Each structure stands twice: as structure tokens, then as C-alpha cells.
Structure 1
Amino acid sequence: MQELAEVRLTAWVHGHVQGVGFRWWTRSRALELGLTGYAANKPDGRVEVVAQGPRAACEKLLELLQSGNTPGRVDNVVAEFSEPGDALSGFVER
């Protein structure tokens, strides 16, 4: 039952991902997958994505972030999985 375990995905998305609808797109995909969390612009031009939910859904979101079918241009995604943190409500853009 490993795929049902709750995890937290933290992904730093590098590339031309600010001002192109990337956070909105990420929020839509995360909500479709039943995840909670947020997508936030960082001062250095990256977008930080934090998603929490079933491991399989988090892995699918990571695949989508890396797919090349996102708004803007993703050059690299640095991601880590960890234990779920404090409960997150909904999925928001920050």
C-alpha cells in the first residue's frame, strides 16, 4: 500500500516560469490530482511547488512539471519527497 501513503513533494522549478500562468496551471493540475499545497514565485525567478497527498498523485504532478507541456519554459526541476507536514488547505498561488 506504499502508493497510498501521504507524502509532501517540494519542487523548485527553474526556467521561464514567472508571468506566464505557470502557478495557475500547476494549481489546476494539483487540484485535479486531489493534492493540497501551493505554488509560489521566488525572488530568483524559480517557482516553488509544495504539494501534499498520496505519493502516486505527487509523483504524477512531478511528471507533469517535467513534461515540457507547461506554460513558459521549464529548464530543470529539483524535487524532494518528505513526510507530510502541517495540514494544508486547498491549493493556492502565492
Structure 2
Amino acid sequence: MTTIAVRARITGHVQGVAFRAWTRVEAERHGLSGWVRNQTDGSVEALVIGPSAEVAAMVRALHKGPPAARISTVDTEKIEPDTEVRDFRILG
């Protein structure tokens, strides 16, 4: 099982719609670690780490988001996994 990490930037109507809480629930459901946080420009940034198939499923989920969200774009970048990250957190 290969562990990968993806950093995602999600734009659209993604703040004030419980996007971070939804992301944490989804990530935990997929057995992923990482974090999610609001950005000052109105976007949300997330780091997801785990098995490649589960990370891919999470990225697909980010394109939908929670019911109140309206996703414009999801930009992703594969990065080196941080093996120190063990759970999924909401950072801010």
C-alpha cells in the first residue's frame, strides 16, 4: 500500500458552510490524516495523506463538498507525505 499526500486548494462558496468540519469527517471516514484550514482569500486549503486510492476518493469528494458549498475549482498538487501527521485536524 503506497502512501501519498495531496495538497488541495478549493475555491467557490466554501467558507461559512461547514466545509472544514465536513472535510474532517470525510477524511476520517477514508482513514486519512492531514489538515484543513480557511485561507484569507476565501478559499479552503487541505492536506490529505494516506493510501493512494483513499486520497483519490477524498479528492473526488472535495469536488462536491458539503450540501451548502458551491465548488468552483479544486487545484491539487502531489507532495511528499509528512509521516509525522497521524490524525486529521482543522487548523483555522
TM-score for the superposition, normalised by structure 2: 0.91
Equivalent residues of 2:22, 2:65 under 8 A apart:
no
Unaligned runs of 5+ in 1: none
Equivalent residues of 1:27, 1:91 under 8 A apart:
yes
Query: What is the percentage of aligned positions where both structures have the same residue?
Result: 34
Q: Which among 47, 51, 60 is matched to residue 48 of structure 2? A: 51
Superposed CA RMSD in Å reads 1.2
SS at match of 1:40: strand
Alignment of 1:73 onto 2:84: no
**What pairs with 1:1-94 in structure 2 (closer than 5 Å)?**
4-66=1-63, 68-70=64-66, 71-94=68-91
More moved, 70-79 vs 23-32: 70-79
TM-score for the superposition, normalised by structure 1: 0.89
Unaligned runs of 5+ in 2: none
